[in-house]
Chains A and B, each alone.
Chain A
Amino acid sequence: IVMTQSPATLSVSPGERATLSCRASQSFSANLAWYQQKPGQAPRLLIYGTSTRATGIPTRFSGSGSGTEFTLTINNLQSEDFAVYYCQQYSNWPLTFGGGTKVEIK
């Protein structure tokens, strides 16, 4: 399953909302995760099962979607949220990641 993320770069002002898209080449169930990665760090799990926040993840992060279209929404962007975000499907082997969306300060 090929995962395509858009846009590649998203410029957002602090306090605003960011909406990140992840599209799959074929439909699957809710087995989709989102990760955040900052420079020089390992990825961090944000969302799994399309919409379940991982332990310790703030409520401003939310996930939604089904079939082939999935979305990560970040409300009230904080300075620490500027990073690269990846989606990952774990419905089929091989596991696949999207190419990433960089959320940068506008």
Chain B
Amino acid sequence: EVQLWESGGGLVQPGGSLRLSCTASGFTFTDYALSWVRQAPGKGLEWVSAISRGADTIYYADSVKGRFSTSRDNYKNTLYLQLNSLRAEDTAVYFCAKADYSSFFNYWGQGTLVTVSS
């Protein structure tokens, strides 16, 4: 059974940093690209970042480019999202999602809440 489990969310002040983790199981981690998708309270889904199987290609949404950094550890079956220079508008539930052979998402974690507030 495919499982994705996010952790690392919490309350952080504007300008602060946080690192999210997503631990995966139930599939061959190195065979699939992964993404981060976020959802602000009461709002829709926003794709944040994607990383290829070998981490040689990484994409970011314009809204986070230069502030967020995605990486993966293929030995630990873990995906990471480093969030820097956080703003109030970054407040959201952050989901990790497993891409299928293309860039749609057939499995999602349950999400971790990041709240940016003073």
A contact residues vs B (CB 8 Å cutoff)? 31, 33, 35, 37, 41-45, 48, 54-55, 86, 88, 90, 93-100
Contacts and interface: CB of A to CB of B under 8 A. Distances in A.
A45 B59 contact: no
Q: Interface size bucket, B side?
A: 20 to 34
Interface of B, secondary structure class, is: strand
A43 B45 contact: yes
Contacts of B59: 93-95
Nearest to A88: B104
Contacts, number: 60
B32 interface: no
A86 B44 contact: yes
A35 B45 CA distance: 10
B104 A96 contact: no
